[in-house]
Amino acid sequence: MQEPSDTTNPDPRESVESLETGYPTLSSSVFTTPEGTYYLKAPGVALLSKPAVNIAGLAAFLEGFDSKLQFPQYLNDASPLPSGTQLCKVAGQLCYASFTPKRTKNENAPRYFQNIKDSGHGSVLEHANFSFLFYGISRSVTHELVRHRAGMAYSQLSQRYVSGTVLRFVERPEYQDDPELHTLFERRIDRAAHDYEAIAEGLVARQKQGSTILSADARTDLRKKVQQTARSVLPNETEAPIVVTGNVRAWRHFMEMRANPHAETEIRALAFRAYLCLAAIEPILFEDYSIVSLSDGTFAVETQYPKV
Ligand X SMILES: Cc1cc2nc3c(=O)[nH]c(=O)nc-3n(C[C@H](O)[C@H](O)[C@H](O)COP(=O)(O)OP(=O)(O)OC[C@H]3O[C@@H](n4cnc5c(N)ncnc54)[C@H](O)[C@@H]3O)c2cc1C
Q: Which residues are catalytic?
A: 258
Per the CB < 8 A criterion, the answer to whether 171 and 182 are in contact is yes
Residue 151's φ and ψ, nearest 5 degrees, are: 80, 15
Binding site for ligand X (CB under 6 A): 147-150, 250, 253, 257-258, 262-263
CB crowding 137-173: b at 16 or more within 10 Å, else e: bbbbbbebbeebeebbeeeebebeeeebeebbbbbee
Residue nearest to ligand X (CB): 149
Distance in Å, CB of 258 to ligand X, minimum: 6
DSSP class of 161: T
**Nearest distance from C-beta of residue 150 to ligand X, angstroms:** 4
- Give the closest residue to 89 by CA, choosing from 121, 61, 118: 121
Indicate the residue among 147 and 206 with the shorter CB distance to ligand X: 147
**Minimum distance from residue 260 beta carbon to ligand X (Å):** 7
**Which one, 203 or 255, has the nearer CB to ligand X?**
255
**CB neighbour list of residue 272: distance below 8 Å, 6 or more residues apart:** 12, 255, 259, 298, 299, 300, 301
Separation of CA 22 from chain center = 16
Closer to ligand X by CB, 111 or 147: give it.
147
Nearest approach in angstroms of CB 243 to ligand X is 17
**Nearer CB in complex with ligand X: 9/123:** 123
